[in-house]
């Protein structure tokens, strides 16, 4: 699937709704944008919470699971550097 879109004066483009729906991209989601030569690649990034759902036993769910996972990974990483 491809669509032609126009770049505005600030360098922004709108990802067409049909493409956003196909890749399940919603408002507030993050994407990774990179250039390979003259090709621009936009890749949706999934939530850390969705990626690791069920991997950890938690007695109480934190308010922001992504922040919780990021902090848990930081703590784990510090123990690995010794």
> Which letter does DSSP use for residue 59 in this model?
S
Please state the domain extents for the chain.
Answer: 1-45, 48-80
Query: How far, in whole angstroms, is CA 67 from its chain's centroid?
Result: 13
Kindly state the average pLDDT of the residues 77-82: 74
1-45 placed in CATH 3.20.20.100: no
Sign of the torsion formed by the C-alpha atoms of 65, 70, 71 and 73: positive
Q: Tokens for 63? A: 């308010």
In the structure, what pLDDT confidence band is assigned to residue 20 with cuts at 50, 70 and 90?
very high
Predicted local confidence at residue 63, as pLDDT: 82
Q: Tokens for 77? A: 């990483």
Give pLDDT tens digits for 38-73.
999 999 987 766 666 666 666 777 788 888 888 888
**Counting runs of H as helices and runs of E as strands, what totals does the chain give?**
3, 2
Contact at 8 Å (CB) between 22 and 1? yes
Kindly state the average pLDDT of the residues 3-28: 93
Predicted local confidence at residue 36, as pLDDT: 95
> Which letter does DSSP use for residue 55 in this model?
S
């Amino acid at each position: 699937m491809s669509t032609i879109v126009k770049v505005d004066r600030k360098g922004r483009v709108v990802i067409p709704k049909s493409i956003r729906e196909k890749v399940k991209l919603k408002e507030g989601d993050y994407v990774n944008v990179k250039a390979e030569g003259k090709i621009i690649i936009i890749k949706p990034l999934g939530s850390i919470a969705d990626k690791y759902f069920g991997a950890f036993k938690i007695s109480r769910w934190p308010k922001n699971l992504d922040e919780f996972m990021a902090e848990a990974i930081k703590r784990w990483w510090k123990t690995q550097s010794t």
